[in-house]
Structures are given as structure tokens and as C-alpha cells.
Amino acid sequence: MSGVLTINVNQGVKASSSTWIISGTSTPLVINGNLEADNSIFKFIGDDDLNIPAVGYYKLELTPNGGSSPEYTILAGSLTTADYIYIGDGVNAVTVNASTSNAGFDIDGDFIITTGAEFYAPNSEEFSVGGNWQNNGSFIANFGKVMFDGNSTGLTVEPGDSNFYSLEFNNSNGGWTMTSNATTTNNFTIREAQQFIASSSIWIGVEGYFWNGVNGANTNWNSCTLYLKASSSDSYLINASTTGDYYPTLKIGADTQIRMWNSSSTVYNVDPAGSLYSMDHSNQDGDLYIWGNYTRNSGIDYWSYATDFDGVDLSGGNQRAASVYFANFASSTFSGADLQIIGLALATTTITSQSSGIYSFKFE
């Protein structure tokens, strides 16, 4: 169709398994009635700037067939696909813009940005992907969150050279592999997953808050570096006391205060102006390891045989020794916060590469 396809009010089209090739200009598809996508493919191939309705498709291809580098604007609404969406054909440049209208996206299949294509994501509306993510072009995240909610394992996420803003994995039946370096300029959340894998030697950088809601039995970080660098006036927790994980290389940036449970690493790279507060370190009940300059500005910390590190009462036979280990050059400062100490062993540990064993804690 080189003109305009209009579905009028009270009218409907069943797309069947046909391929609908639309090459018109401006707004070549106008839906005032009902479109049933069935098993169809909708291909927008116009070389001029186009407006694309945000409705339900089965498969959607935004693939101009000329070299004029058009911009396709997603109109307001909720764009869904029961299968994949292609941004570009890998040969002809195109810009697809969903930020102007802030359209919602719910993609059940793969989301693929091809070479030479740009995609501007919604600013705040939900953007969910149930299949694979492959970016060979450019993804402009704006201020939106991409949520992977696929219901199967074996899914892959290839971020390409683009950053995410916020990223979330959220399906207890889903399994994802990060295949290359990834950075979020805001939060990175593994809320639920059957499997999460980071490919060997990649880098995952989190400039907001990181949360790992699944256990180490469901993850494999291989030789990945996890870099946490969110500035925070106080420490924040990256996992619950009922879970734990192993991060081969854990890097903590300046002014970043990290607390974690039942977890460990092989390489700890903690900036002296940041800190790592590792409770029940390496699954050793009662062990607390501190790197960097740990600062607590409010609340209470518990270094006690009778109380867990989060204040939970351990009476009734669950008491254990509390041993606090300071890495070389590490310190703890409590400014406007309380520290409860009952039956405590203090020690230094030399698991960092630093050579001098200065450690202390103080109150202000």
C-alpha cells in the first residue's frame, strides 16, 4: 500500500497471516476501528518521515528501503507485539522515536536494532521485552526502564555500545545471558530469575542502585567485573539476608557505600572514599568484613553475638560469635548513628593488595 490504510470507527480488519507492506507518507496507517494482528507482519518501508500507530501487532518491521534516513515517530498509546520488532534493515539508516509521545512498549519477542538504526526510548512509560535484545545500532535510553520479563531460559541481552537508564530482570522462569559490557546510568535490578549469566570478562557498571534478588545458585558471573558507583549519603543494601552471591571482581567507586549479605568475591577493588560492608561474609555466620571508609549517618549497626547485623534477635539458640574484620586502611565512622557492641572480636585481614594494616572506628 503506497497510500493510506484507514480502518474506520466500528470497522475491523483481521490481518490473518499476511505480510502488510506499507510505503505511504505521513501517517499511512490510521486506526479508528479495530485491527486484529493475528499472525501477520506489518512492514513500514517508506523513505519519508512517518507516524506509526502504537497498537497491537504480531510482528513489526520498521525498515525503510531507501537511503534518505527518515524518522519514524511512534504515536501515543501502547505498542505491543506478540513476536519480534525490527528497527532498521541493517542497510538503510532510520531513526525511530518513541520519546516524543512517551508511548508504552510491550514486546513479547525479540527487540532488534540493526546497524545504522537509532531508537529513542520512552521517557517514563513501561518498556518490557520478552525475548532477546540485540543492539547493533544506537539505543537512546532517555529516563525510562527496560524490563526483561521473558518466560523461558536461553535469552540473550546484547547492549552494544549504548547505555541503559534503568534495567530490570523480572520473571522467575526467565533466564538471561549478558553477552557484552553493559552500563546503567540509573538502577540495575535482578528481581526474579531462573538464571542470570554474565559472559566471561565483561564489565557491568551501575551508576544508580544495584539489587540482586536471586540466590547464587541461579547466577553465574563468570569472570565479570561488577562496578557499583552510585554516590550515596549513606550505605545501601544490594541483597536480602536470605540470599547471597559470588562476584569474581567487585569494584566499588568513590562515595559509594555498599552493604551485602552472604556474598564474596575474589578481587575487591574498593575506592578509599567508598566502602563495602559484607555481613555473614562468604556465608560465614557472624563474620563482618569492612573495606574502605565505612560511614553510617543514621540508624544502628549491631556487632553482637545476640543480635544479627540487621538487628534481628538471635535468642533461642541462634546466638553466634560476632567477628569484625577490617581490611588494610579500612575505617568506620558513625556520625549521628549508633553502634551496639556485645561480645566482639576485632581483627585485620590482608585480602587486599594494600600493605599497611591501619584500621579503626570512631564516633562523631
Percent of the chain predicted with pLDDT > 70 = 93
pLDDT at 349 over 60: no
Q: What is the pLDDT at residue 253?
A: 95
Average pLDDT on 338-352 reads 64
Q: What is the pLDDT at residue 348?
A: 52
What is the separation of C-alpha 17 from the centre of its chain, rounded to a whole number of angstroms? 35
Percent of the chain predicted with pLDDT > 90 = 81
pLDDT at 351 over 80: no
Amino acid at site 339: L
Q: What is the pLDDT at residue 231?
A: 72
pLDDT at 267 over 70: yes
pLDDT tens, position by position, 151-183: 999 999 999 999 999 999 999 999 999 999 999
What's the rounded Cα separation, in Å, for the pair 336 and 299? 8
Of the candidates 71, 28, 27, 19, the one whose C-alpha atom is nearest the C-alpha of residue 47 is 71
pLDDT tens, position by position, 191-239: 999 999 999 999 999 999 999 999 999 999 999 999 999 876 668 999 9
Q: What is the pLDDT at residue 357?
A: 45
pLDDT at 39 over 60: yes
Question: How far are the Cα atoms of 86, 91, 113 from residue 94, in angstroms, in the given order?
Answer: 11, 10, 10
Q: What is the pLDDT at residue 233?
A: 61
pLDDT band at 362 (very low <50, low <70, confident <90, very high): low
pLDDT at 354 over 80: no
Q: What is the pLDDT at residue 321?
A: 86
pLDDT at 340 over 90: no
pLDDT band at 330 (very low <50, low <70, confident <90, very high): confident
Q: What is the pLDDT at residue 352?
A: 36
3-state SS track over 163-202: CECEEEEEEEEEEEEECCCEEECCCEEEEEEEEEEECCCC
Average pLDDT on 28-33 reads 96
Q: What is the pLDDT at residue 282?
A: 96
What residues contact 353, with CB distance under 8 A and at least 6 apart?
A: none
Q: What is the pLDDT at residue 329?
A: 84
Average pLDDT on 293-321 reads 91
What's the rounded Cα separation, in Å, for the pair 96 and 121? 9
| Cβ atoms < 10 Å from Cβ of 354 | 14
pTM of the model: 0.93
Burial of 119 (0-12, 13-18, 19+ CB in 10 A): buried
Amino acid at site 310: D
